[in-house]
Chains A and B, each alone.
Chain A
């Protein structure tokens, strides 16, 4: 369906224009300096702390979701023909 590419293109263009203009037209309330230790840029430790403390529950749920999708994907991809 090569014919119908103009409309998607225009729509994408419209969207990007709107978002970019919106983003540029907004004054973002940001910190003036990037935080953290300039020597050690890594924030893995912080993230790990957050995941296992504040976001422990979502993390557990996510693991279940992953497991379920894994089983589902294997089941579906395996198909019925080749047992």
Chain B
């Protein structure tokens, strides 16, 4: 009985926050705290349903919830809750709930509260709908909606020109990825139609089970691009990954994420750390069977993920803005998740396990980091680390929770035991998998990326901690500890960041590996890997001791360096960290991305050259049309002068005409 009841409530998970959006948007102004109570209650409801479904599914992972309804034409909308979706749903609704509670206090002085809560409620609804969609189109629809909410919330303080610009940049940059995603969907649709031989009654074209059942045929379709024979499946998956790159801030479409910090900090925590940016990872995990069956796709994912992890870390280490450091950290960690998925070409389905595990843990500790940063900003009023310092004394709870989050992010823990932060249990498997990958294919680049990034992670996050919380204040500020409504969510998240990983590590991954073998889809990942020419080998856990300890060692090294420079201040950076140093300048200027993307590509090439030329063409076309008019008028202007009004001229014309006409008639008669 309980089972059926639960299933019937599954559709409520996204609907409740959507209703809250409507209520808060229209009536929030007249309610206390901007109507925050509706989103909180609604999301709490979603969380309860998701959590109960997850609990039940833990016992029986094969029984997934799947409901589909026709939407339009051959497309459908529906609910699919399998292990992957279940953990994501629980995490999203849980983190969202905490952040909403936190925001009641954080946003209390802002006149735009109703709008804020309405938009975050809409965001939560869209994100939940994304997670539980059972077809790629609904996935895309929700994907775009979360992008819209991200746009609206980054531009929440729209009177600030920088916020409006950042919102636009975020939307457009992710839009580039979205177009790739859409292109992938369109090619997929077209191929599926071809393979299925038209529309079949009773099946929904873009539902995941339908897509997965055509993987072998899709893989067999070959396209010829510039002389290379490429499988359609590879094209489609790479286009999907293009969408993921945009949404999850992977190189080279990561530029929007640091700018997105213009929004309220709670938004950064919710959207740009815990949930929306992980949608790209979720997309790759969701379509993992396609990726693993597509030759070379996972390779691209692994390389790009690993590179992003390192690349973002190098920029994170020189930023002076509290939130920007965290933003680069997010990009870097998302890179880890992508790397983890990419390693699926060797470790198979386990990749989904480790990657999503890291996603969940990251959500906890990164949301916590942002909320702590928000707490500091809320209390102190600045987010420039150079002006902070010594905040730990006035805000002890914030300092402690943030340190826990930092430890979790840097991945501190003792290998081989069950002692460790959450981040340790999810990040280390990824690094270890990269090692196995290197061992297997003799390609050590992903491993080197990941270990170097681990060092940088530790260095930048402890730089942040030391610069913010220790030492003496470097400016005049009046800090105070945040109220309980803010610190309680911090404490809860800190608890999760500390112990969630250790408590669930084995069960979690095993649970997730059931994602593709259940009542909805039943796939043999090994066969699919064979199609993609990927050779799967054993799992993690039996690496050399040094490899197990190396991540911890580099993390400690990072901590030590940060400690020496920013706590003890025994090492003076001096000329190293000045604009005279070209490397520092390169990093500080963020590899001149703004110059390349915004000024050169967008404004220069597209706006300045291409659009300008088109406008010139437009003027030419218009001139041609206008020329018809001008010529007609001009000719008439001349022709009307023939009507001189002088009778003699007419007479001349008449007589000449008669004469010529007679000759003409005569000639014609002759010819005939």
Contacts and interface: CB of A to CB of B under 8 A. Distances in A.
Q: Do A and B bind each other?
A: yes
B655 to A, nearest CB: 5
B479 to A, nearest CB: 103
A22 B656 CA distance: 16
A66 interface: no
Contacts of A39: none
B418 interface: no
A33 B379 CA distance: 136
B652 A18 contact: no
The 4 closest A-B pairs by CB, nearest first: A14-B659, A11-B656, A18-B659, A15-B659
B664 to A, nearest CB: 11
Interface string B634-669: 000000000000001000100110111011000000
Given A14-B660, A22-B662, 6 more contacts: A7-B652, A8-B652, A11-B652, A14-B659, A15-B659, A18-B662
Contacts of B648: 8
A11 B655 contact: yes
Contacts of A69: none
A17 B663 CA distance: 11
Majority secondary structure of chain B interface residues (helix, strand, loop or mixed): helix
A12 interface: yes
A17 B656 CA distance: 12
Contacts of B656: 11, 14-15
20 contacts: A7-B652, A8-B648, A8-B652, A11-B652, A11-B655, A11-B656, A11-B659, A12-B655, A14-B656, A14-B659, A14-B660, A15-B655, A15-B656, A15-B658, A15-B659, A17-B659, A18-B659, A18-B662, A18-B663, A22-B662
Contacts of A8: 648, 652
A43 to B, nearest CB: 33
Interface residues of B, number: 9
Contacts of B659: 11, 14-15, 17-18
Contacts of A7: 652
A15 B654 CA distance: 11
Nearest to B663: A18
A17 B652 CA distance: 16
A75 to B, nearest CB: 24
Contacts of B652: 7-8, 11
Contacts of A18: 659, 662-663
Interface string A1-43: 0000001100110110110001000000000000000000000
A14 B660 CA distance: 8
B649 to A, nearest CB: 9
A35 B564 CA distance: 147
A12 B656 CA distance: 8
B509 to A, nearest CB: 106
Contacts of A14: 656, 659-660
Contacts of A12: 655
Interface string B312-337: 00000000000000000000000000
Nearest to B661: A18
Nearest to A22: B662
Contacts of A15: 655-656, 658-659
B651 to A, nearest CB: 9
A24 to B, nearest CB: 14
A7 B663 CA distance: 18
A12 to B, nearest CB: 7
Nearest to A25: B666
